[in-house]
Copies of this chain bind each other. A is one copy, B any other.
């Protein structure tokens, strides 16, 4: 049996330990300094505060029963982090995009080459050297250390609250070494959590990062439908049109960022699908689709943090830079550019349907 230490006890960082705990492994959940409430509550009750809150607001299987962590999961404050990682077989990086720099500066320096790291953070970031070049988070993390850390990552469709509910889930673990990947699969695989393996870190991570931007884009159609109907009623022709355009642009972007498009696009498509139906990016997309500006929408959402906004900003900027360098045709990305306009130029929704049309004579 292995010992797994998670750093940052958010919903996904916690949920991914459930299949491993299910397999009998020992889990140490270490909160970031922002997670003190979660740790306090968890130590007292065994319940995960945010997963329970989510279930309460979005009743799923348990209908408002608390999300209890399995017996082999313990909760720890951040000041126990160094103690917790001693003798651990695997470290999980559980931060979102917004905690990435914190993790790189405060945790990475404490980690050793002997212990593999599995990251659940989804995103890409400017490589800081080449105009328009984005790299994956595992690549970014390595820049904060001279050590030869082995960083693995999880991609593919999985929402934390549904994993906790044991909804059958199919993800991909990626990283530098197939032998370690197979060991990771043995730790986590259950009859409801299935794992493909890939050594193409850039491809996997790029594919699943892009979906946050585009999920917001597809959800615009939900808001458009709500507005037209005057009630919460969805139409799907428009969602499907945006979904098809989104996957087409994601495919092209995978090539742009050297992510082996054909091999990895299906991961991103699955991840896009699951993200359209859950989470904060959907909520923002619906408000924008109803015609609210970004500022008005964020006021309604009370300043939640949104990974879709971060990845849209970075990707749109990279596309603009690469277009200036003549390396791509910006007209191939009309949906991304419209999402950017809405988010950063406070424009109202006006889907460029005509720009999605193509003519092929072959």
**Interface residues, chain A, with chain B CB atoms under 8 Å away:** 60-61, 156-159, 162-163, 165, 167-170, 178, 181, 194-200, 221, 224-225, 228-229, 233-241, 243-245, 247-248, 251, 260, 262-263, 266-267, 269-271, 273-274, 277-278, 351, 353-354, 356-362
Contact = CB atoms under 8 A, between A and B. Distances in A.
Given A244-B267, A244-B273, A237 B157 contact: yes
B260 A362 contact: yes
Given A162-B237, A236-B274, A237-B162, A263 B360 contact: yes
A194 to B, nearest CB: 4
Contact of A270 (B60, B200, B241, B361): B241
The quantity of this chain's copies bound in the complex is: 2
A194 B353 contact: yes
Contacts of A194: 241, 353-354, 356-357
Contacts of A240: 157, 270-271, 273-274
22 contacts: A60-B229, A60-B235, A157-B236, A162-B236, A167-B225, A167-B228, A168-B351, A168-B353, A170-B245, A170-B353, A195-B357, A196-B358, A198-B360, A198-B361, A198-B362, A199-B362, A236-B274, A240-B271, A241-B270, A245-B266, A262-B262, A273-B273
Given A199-B361, A199-B362, A236 B266 contact: no
B269 A269 contact: yes
Nearest to A274: B240
A55 to B, nearest CB: 12
Contacts of A251: 262, 266
A202 to B, nearest CB: 11
Given A196-B358, A263-B360, A221 B168 contact: yes
A277 B243 CA distance: 13
B278 A236 contact: yes
